[in-house]
Structure 1
Amino acid sequence: MNLVYGLITGLLFGVFLQRAQVVRYSKQIGALRLLDMTIVKFMLSNIFVAMVGLYALKDFGLIHFHLKTTALGAIIIGGTLFGIGWGILGYCPGTALGAIGEGRIDALWGILGMLVGAGIYAEIYPWIKTYIIPLGNYGKITLPQLLGINHWIVIIIFGICCLGLFYWFEKNDL
């Protein structure tokens, strides 16, 4: 049943990506050039909704988090590679799949890159596990745990910051 839930939420997310037009190459390049914040607004909205939903489910005892280790070395390297790929291709992984769904075959390069990258990662994982993951390893911790405050305070502050950013983006026509 978990696979069915994953399929349904993945399809819905894809529909929302398409409807928000964030799979468009022009929106991707606009975001990278800080000229069009549609993607930023879309993702911040999704993150906020997910935060509220997941922590509500956790508070009601319906789910338990299985956190990954916070390893800054791996996060920085992975984020850099993600950004380089996005900058070169003009699509991130999710939007590349959405663009293919709309018939834009140039996004196949992104899918090919993801597959090659996954293969390379799998081959060098023992080295990564030994040398990269231990760099800046803070264990399995969340931001509220790190700050020592209730998660709802973090969520409310994040929501207020999002609203402030959205207002600023609209005011500056971004």
Structure 2
Amino acid sequence: MHAIISLVAGLIFGLGLAFSEMTNPAVVIGFLDIFGNWNPSLIIVMASAISVGMLGYWIKNKRIKPLFADKWYVPTLKHIDSKLIVGATLFGIGWGLSGYCPGPGLTALVNNPSEGVYFILALILGSGVHTLQNRTA
């Protein structure tokens, strides 16, 4: 059941990305171009995502346990540390420069393979560096 729910959630997420054109890096970069040809559509996508997240937490607070799991898996860390700040900064810089975050980056392997390959290689390299850094820390 977990695999089916994960597949359905991934398909809904992917369709949402495609429908909102968030798989198109020009749309994301257009959102960041506030002094040029600004494209505010990302605000609607973010507001929709926040609304879904809020609904999820509302459901979590109303139920003792999820329908298809033994317990809720909710992040427990609440402090902001240097790793979070550096990671968020690097993510934001990469997203702003390329117009891709991991979900749309995967779709770029099909939609725009010449850029997608570089993005995915950088994603794998960055993940590897993070893993090595945390292994030795």
**Shift in alpha-carbon separation, 1:94–1:120, aligned structure 2, 3 A:** same
| Match 2:132 to one of 100, 112, 123 | 123
Quote the Cα distance in structure 2 between the aligned partners of 1:42 and 1:48: 10
Q: How many positions carry a matched residue from both structures?
A: 127
Quote the Cα distance in structure 1 between the aligned partners of 2:103 and 2:27: 14
**Is the Cα contact below 8 Å between 1:89 and 1:109 reproduced in 2?**
no
Say which SS state the counterpart of residue 91 (structure 1) adopts.
coil
RMSD, matched Cα = 1.9
Quote the residue 2:106 is aligned against.
97
Quote the Cα distance in structure 2 between the aligned partners of 1:125 and 1:65: 22
Larger RCO (CA within 8 A; separation ≥ 6): 1
Does the alignment pair 1:69 with 2:77? Answer: yes
1:124 Cα deviation after fit: 0.6
| Match 1:59 to one of 47, 57, 62 | 62
**Shift in alpha-carbon separation, 1:91–1:7, aligned structure 2, 3 A:** same
Structure 1 length-normalised TM: 0.65
Structure 2 length-normalised TM: 0.80
Quote the residue 1:163 is aligned against.
none
The runs of 5 or more residues in structure 1 that have no matched partner are: 129-174
Quote the Cα distance in structure 1 between the aligned partners of 2:100 and 2:14: 14
Quote the residue 1:135 is aligned against.
none
1:96 Cα deviation after fit: 1.3
Give identity over the alignment, percent: 29
The runs of 5 or more residues in structure 2 that have no matched partner are: 67-71
Quote the residue 1:110 is aligned against.
119
Q: Show structure 1 runs of 4+ deviating over 6 A.
A: none
